[in-house]
């Protein structure tokens, strides 16, 4: 995971490239996945600016419009991984991710 992947300025630029509707759909799916991972017993840590426990949450909440973006970083067995939402149903994306954990 690169530090720029979840950087608020990087996400702000990405949101303007994606368009409002797509940004909202992907952000909604990522929010579901981030909350799921935050409760998962094998996941050691989660970084997503839409989680209130994330250190970037205050700035993200005041900067990003229509959601917090499609990218979620999570740590399993000491290794950070970056996951990115797509347009599929959020439950399908959670189940796919679960099969990889």
Per-position DSSP letters for 17-60, written without gaps between them: HH-HHHHHHHHHHHHHHHHHHHH-TT--EEE-TTSTTSTTHHHH
CATH number at residue 83: 3.90.1150.10
For residue range 9-20, list pLDDT tens digits in order: 899 889 989 999
Residues of the domain holding 92: 3-100
The string of pLDDT tens digits covering residues 34-71 is 999 999 999 999 999 999 999 999 999 999 999 999 99
The C-alpha angle 51, 15, 3, rounded to 5 degrees, equals 60
What is the per-residue pLDDT across 65-88, written as a single tens digit (0 to 9) for each?
A: 999 999 999 999 999 999 999 999
The bridge status of strand 79-84 relative to strand 71-76 is: antiparallel
> What DSSP character marks residue 5?
G
Confidence at residue 72, expressed as pLDDT on a 0 to 100 scale = 96
Q: CB neighbours (10 Å) of residue 39?
A: 8
pLDDT for residue 3: 57
Q: What is the pLDDT of residues 51-60, one digit of tens each?
A: 999 999 999 9
Q: How far apart are CA 55 and CA 23, in angstroms?
A: 22
pLDDT of residue 80: 95
Tell me the pTM.
Answer: 0.90
Total structural domains in the chain? 1
């Amino acid at each position: 995971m690169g530090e720029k992947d979840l950087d608020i300025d990087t996400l702000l630029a990405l949101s303007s490239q994606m368009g409002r509707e797509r940004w909202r759909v992907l952000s909604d799916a990522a929010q579901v996945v981030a909350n799921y991972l935050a409760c998962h017993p094998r996941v050691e840590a989660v970084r997503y600016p839409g989680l209130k426990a994330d250190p970037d949450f205050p700035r993200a909440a005041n900067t990003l419009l229509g959601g917090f973006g499609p990218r979620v970083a999570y740590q399993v067995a000491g290794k950070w991984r970056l996951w990115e939402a797509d347009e599929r149903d959020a439950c399908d994306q959670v189940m796919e991710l679960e099969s990889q954990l």
